[in-house]
Amino acid sequence: MSEIDRITIIPGLCGGRPTIRGIRITVANVLEMLAGGMTSEAILADFPYLEKEDILACLQFAAQMASYRHYDVSKRSSA
């Protein structure tokens, strides 16, 4: 399983937000903890069912989402 494959989106689980391996921990939860200054080690200690690869998957997912571009074609002007 590659890191990004650990991220799942299951309708009805956590409001359909991306979670880790289908458990009730969202990618956003992990990213907020990291942004708040928690280390990976502290997160893993607080959530023993998480693995280091889960945290890496969250970071990889965030990087992909940050580079995603959405173009609303209905608002584009023609030249």
Query: 3-66 — its CATH code?
Result: 1.10.10.10
Predicted local confidence at residue 25, as pLDDT: 96
Three-state SS at 72: coil
Place of tokens 């995603």: 68
Tokens for 34? 């990291």
Band (pLDDT 50/70/90 cuts) for residue 15 is very high
Q: 20-77: per-residue pLDDT in tens?
A: 999 999 999 999 999 999 999 999 999 999 999 999 999 999 998 888 776 555 544 4
Average pLDDT score over residue span 1-12:
86
**Model pTM?**
0.81
Predicted local confidence at residue 67, as pLDDT: 86
